[in-house]
Amino acid sequence: MKEENIKRLLDFGVEIISRKGYHNVGLKELLDSTGIPKGSFYYYFDSKEDFGRKVISHYAKNTLNYLRSILLDKSKSPRERLLFMFKDRASAYKKSAYQVGCLMGDCSNELAGQFKSMQVLLEKKFSTWRDVFKQCIEEGQQLGEFNNNLSAVELADFIINNWEGALSRMKATRSVQPFHLFVKYTMKVVLKP
């Protein structure tokens, strides 16, 4: 029961923080929406900051599993994997009316300058994502599908950094156009063999 309640709180935390931001989410709203009694929150989490860190970790783990399932899928070429993932993400962004991008990017903007523990956690989680992109890019370089003149690590970092920026613009414009522009230049210029 405890693990089930924690998962419910974390799942809802991802959803609500993605839409409203960390500082705009109150504990009452969180607990009322999940049906968990008010006194139970501190049984599960030490503080709202502890809850925030665990939400970030939960989101990062789920996203890492998603990235691995697509970017390390040997049944497709590395280029096909990236294109499939970008198309899949564009569809998800459309479903949210371009209001939900990346919780980690949003939390980086909102929290990394305020909480050292979150800044360290966010950087650690982004690094795990980068490593998956790096593996896919290295394989694509070996097959001649991607630019061989640049470091796979730097290309992976470049992709994540620019993707996060595109998502910020997407949310500001309520349009997929910034994301499409990011994908176009990533595939046709940055990764071009």
Q: How many CB atoms lie within 10 A of CB 130?
A: 22
11: pLDDT confidence band, cut at 50, 70 and 90? very high
Rg (CA), the chain: 18
161: pLDDT confidence band, cut at 50, 70 and 90? very high
**Interval 171-190 mean pLDDT:** 97
53: pLDDT confidence band, cut at 50, 70 and 90? very high
Domains annotated on the chain, with CATH: 2-190 (1.10.357.10)
Cα dihedral 55→57→58→64 (10° resolution): 140
Whole-structure pTM value: 0.94
Contacts of residue 17, Cβ cutoff 8 Å, sequence gap at least 6: 25, 52, 55, 103, 106, 107
Alpha-carbon separation of residue 43 from 2, 36, 50 (angstroms): 9, 11, 12
The per-residue pLDDT for 177 is 97
Q: Could you give phi then psi for residue 46, rounded to 5 degrees? A: -70, -30
Summarize pLDDT for 104-126 with one digit per residue, the tens: 999 999 999 999 999 999 999 99
The per-residue pLDDT for 40 is 85
pLDDT of 39 strictly over 90: no
The better pLDDT of the pair 38, 99 is held by 99
Share of the chain above pLDDT 70, in %: 99
